[in-house]
Structure 1
C-alpha cells in the first residue's frame, strides 16, 4: 500500500524559498544602480576662505581721548586660472543618514569636495589653479579658458546629442575630459565609455601604458592599491587619444574619495572598487600636471592643417609625405609633417608638397610614393596583405621611416615584431653617427635629447640613435625608437622620450633629403 505524500512543512517551504532566492541573486548579483546612489563625502564643515585685509592710511587724528583708528578694507586676491570644471548632470535627492542628519545628494556631486581637493594637490605642486562647477547649458566649451572637465558619478551618465557634439568639439580643440567612476560603479563606467565612443566613433578606448607620461610626469607610479578586491596592482586608466594627447580619460576605479582623503563611506558600499588615498593622490598629482603640461599640445595639435591650392592636388615632381594608416594610433602628431616640410621649403630649394597623404597599404598603389612614414603610440599589427605589399615595396627600392611617438615601449615592441614579419631574417641595426644621412643640410652627428630620455638613457650621450635595415647595400628602413616627430612642432611634451626641437628638425630634414636622393 502506497503511503500518502507527506505535506511540506513551513521549515521546508522557507528553505526552498531561500535556495531560490540565493539562486536568483547568483544569476543577477550586480547591485541595482540606485543602490550606489549614496552620499560619499565627509561631514567636515568647509572653512571659509581666508580674507586678506591690508592696512590703509590712518585717519586724521581724532580729538582726545578717542583712540586713532585705521581704516581697513578687504582686498580680493587675483583669481587664478581655472584648471577643471566639475560638470553638473543627472538628478538630486535628499535623505536622512544613520545619525539623523539630512543630506542633499546629486548624481554629479556625491563627493562634494573631490574637485576642490584635486586642485589643492595641484597647488601643492606650485600649480596655482582653482576649479568651478560647470553647467553644460551655459558652458563656453573653450579649452583655452578651461582646459579640463570632470564627470563624476555612480549611476548611468546621460547627455543630450547636442552636448555630446559640443564635448567632441571641445576635446578636438584641445580640451580634456575626465570621467571618474567614483565608487567603481559599472553603471557609470560603462555609460561614460558608451557616450564618448558615440562622440568619437572613429576611435576606441585604449589602456594607458605603464610608461606613459601620465604615470610619471610628477610621481613615478608603478604600483597602486585598489581596494575592493584588486589589492596591489598596476594603475588602470583608459583613454581616447587625440593626436599624442589623451583627450578623454576614464577611471574604472574610484579616485574622488581618495582625493578627498576619506574613503570610509565606500567600505559600506557593496562591490565598491576604488584607489586608496595615497594611490588616488599620486594619480591626481600626475593628472593635474598632465592637464597643465599638455594643454598647449592640445591647442597646437588641434589646429587644422592649412594648405595652399597648389598643395591640394599632388604634383608628380614634388616630394609627398605619405603616411601609413594602420590599426593602431597612426596619426600621433597632427600638423608635424607640414611644419617640417614648411621649414624644408625655407632652408632649401627642394620642391615639397605640404599636404600629408594617408596611405592604406593593403589597397593603395604605392608605386608613386618613394617614401612611406609610419608612427604610433601603442600596439599595432599588419595584415598578411600589408606584410606582402610592404615587403615588395621595400625590396623594390622604397624607403620606410618609422617614428616611435613619445618613445613608448608598447609601440617599440610592435615595430620590432612587425618588421620581422615583413623582412624575415633581417634585424634592425644601429645607423652609425658617421653615416651620410647625418651629413645632409645639417651636421647631425651630435644631437640633444629631452631631459626624460637623458635621465633614463644616459648612455646615449649626444650621439643620434637610429636603427636601420640594409637591403642590397642600401638603407631602406630607418627607425627612431625615440620621438623625432614631436620636435617638428616646437611645443613642449612633458616626459616625452625623444629629441629636442632643433635636433629633431635638423635630423628630420636630413632624412627627407637622404630619402629623395637615394
Structure 2
C-alpha cells in the first residue's frame, strides 16, 4: 500500500498511546496516521478500471465458461509538481482523543485538485507527487516544480540550500503558498528565499508580467480577510527571477491553496477560489512554458578573452544600474560572434561591466544597457552619461522582453540626461538600417504579433547629436534574439532580425 493511501485511510483515527512517551513506535504511528488539521478533505478516490475475460474452469467441472475480472492500472501521467514534505509530527486533542498531523498535509488535496482542474482547462495531463527533500534528486528534468505550503514556520537542512539553489538555476521552479495566509509560514518561506538567493530580492510582479496572462488575463482578484469586507484589487504574486524567468513564485502571503481545494474559511487572509484557480492555472502554464528557457539559461556561456588586456578591438561595455541590468549575460557574446562572422570588425570576446559614476568615454566607445524593471540613475550617473554622449560615445539600449517598467524608466532617465533632446523614431532611410544588412522589414515574436497584427517595420528610436545617432533604443527586446533563448513570453524581434539589427547598430556606431 502506498504511504499516501495509508495516510488517507488513517484520517481521523486516534493515535495509539505507548507507555514511556515519545518512543520510536509512537513516532512511527504518528507518521502513519498524520492527518490534515481542518483545511480540506482528502483527494477523491481514483476511479477503478477493470478488464474482463472468459475462461474455462478446471475439469471435471462442467465446461461452462466463467467470467473473470481484474483491476487494470491506467498508466500514470508524468509528474509536474512535487509537494514538499514539511514539519514535525504534532498532536492535537479532539473530542477527548489525541490526533497527530503534519503541517504540509493540512490541505491534502490542494495541488491535486488544481492540477485536475488545470488539466481540463489546458487539455494536458500531469500529476502531483510527494517530495521528500532528503531523497529528492534535485533534477528538474525529473520533477520541474517544488511546492512549499503550510501554516507553521519551517526550516530546511543547511545541506539542502545549495541543492535547492542549483535546482532553480538548472531550470526548476519553486512555488510557495501560505495556507490561510499564516504569518509563521510566510516569514519562514521569505527567510528560505533569502538564504537561496541573498542578492536576488523577491519582488512583487509588474502587471504586464507573463504570470498574469500566460493562460487567463488577470488584472485583479477578489480577496477575503478576517475582520474585513471582501474586496477586489491587483494580484500580489511575488517572484525571484533568474534571467528572463521567474524561478521562485510566491502567492504573496495570501492563501491560494484553500481556493485550489475549492473551499474558504472566515479566518486568515486569502484569494477567493475562482481567482485562486486562475492564478494557479497561470502559474502551471508559465512553469511549463518556461521550462526549456530555464534549461537554456542554465548553460553558462563564457567570454573566453575575459581578463586579457584590451587591444585595438571592439569591446562592449554594459552599464550597471539599480535594476536587473544583466538579464542574460551570454547575449552579447552571441552578438559579437555573429558580428565577427558577418563583418571585418576585429572583435575581442570580453564584456566589461561599467559604473556610470567612473566612466571613461574613450575606453568604451559603445555602452549597452538593458533590463526588465524600473531603475533610477543618480545625479552623478546622469552628469557623466551626458558628458560621455557629448564626447562622441554611443549608448545602445533595449527593454528586455519588451517590459513596460524598463521602457518607462529609460525614457524618464534619458530625458534627465539630455533634457534638450527627445527620442524620435528612426526613419527607414537612416544609414543604421543599411550599414551591413539592408533592413526594411523585420519579424517580431508571436506575442508582439498577437498584440499588434500586421506589424513588420523595425521600431528603433534615437537621439542625434551633431547629426549622428548617440542614443539608439528599442522598446522591443533584442536579448532573447541575440542569445537564441526559447522565451515564449518575449516581446521582441525574432532571432535573425534581432542579430541583423544588432550588427547594423554596432557597425554604424563604430563608423560614424
TM over 0.5: yes
Does the CA contact (< 8 Å) of 1:314 and 1:353 recur in 2?
A: no
Q: Tell me the SS of whatever aligns to 2:374.
A: coil
- Give a deviation string over 1:356-391, Cα, whole Å, max 9, x none: 222122135343111111111111101111111111
1:47 and 2:45 are equivalent in the alignment: yes
Ranges in structure 2 where 5+ consecutive residues have no aligned partner: 1-34
Q: What is the CA–CA distance in structure 2 between the aligned matches of 1:299 and 1:175, rounded to whole Å?
A: 8
Note if contact 1:41-1:113 (Cα within 8 Å) is conserved in structure 2: no
CA gap of 1:82–1:441, structure 2 versus 1, over 3 A, is farther
Residue in structure 2 matched with residue 304 of structure 1 by the alignment: 300
- Alpha-carbon distance between aligned partners in 1 of 2:98 and 2:262, rounded to the nearest angstrom: 23
Deviates more, 1:283-292 or 1:83-92: 83-92
Q: Secondary structure at the match of 2:200?
A: coil
Please give the secondary structure, in 2, of the residue aligned with 1:161.
coil
Distance, in Å, in 1 between the alignment partners of 2:75 and 2:133 is 26
- 2:232 alignment partner in structure 1: 232
Gaps of at least 5 residues in structure 1 are 1-36
Q: Deviations over 1:321-349 (max 9, x none)?
A: 21111111111123222222222333334
Structure 2 CA distance for aligned equivalents of residues 376 and 101 of structure 1: 58
Over 3 Å counting, the alpha-carbon distance change for 1:88 and 1:38 in structure 2 is closer
Count residues in correspondence.
472
SS at match of 2:90: strand
Contact 1:324–1:360 under 8 Å retained in 2: yes
Cα gap change, 1:468 to 1:110, in 2 (>3 Å): same
Residues 17-166 of structure 1: pairs in structure 2 closer than 5 A: 39-43=37-41, 46-51=44-49, 53-54=50-51, 66-68=63-65, 75-95=72-92, 104-124=100-120, 125-166=122-163
User: Which of 365, 388, 395 does residue 360 from structure 2 map onto?
Assistant: 365
Superposed counterparts of 1:503-514, under 5 Å: 503-514=497-508
Q: Distance in 1 between matches of 2:511 and 2:72?
A: 67
Aligned to 2:390: 395
Root mean square deviation of aligned Cα: 2.5
**1:287 and 2:283 are equivalent in the alignment:** yes
1:60-96 per-residue CA deviation (whole Å, 9 max, x = no partner) reads 8998953435776655444433211111122232435
TM-score with structure 1 length normalisation?
0.85
Partner of 1:245: 245
Q: Deviations over 1:177-200 (max 9, x none)?
A: 111112112222122112211221
Q: Which residue in the other structure is 2:4 paired with?
A: none
- Call closer, same or farther: CA 1:192–1:60 in 2, change over 3 Å: same
Deviation at 1:49, TM superposition (A): 4.4
1:203-236 alpha-carbon deviations (Å, 9 max, x no partner): 2122100111010011000110011146100100
TM superposition score normalised by structure 2:
0.86
1:259 matched to 2:260? yes
C-alpha contact (below 8 Å) 2:178/2:255 kept by paired residues = yes
- Tell me whether 431-440 or 461-470 shows the greater mean CA deviation: 431-440
TM-superposed CA distance for 1:167, in Å, is 1.3
Distance 1:236 1:464 in 2: 35
Task: Map 1:160-179 onto structure 2 (within 5 A).
Answer: 160-179=157-176
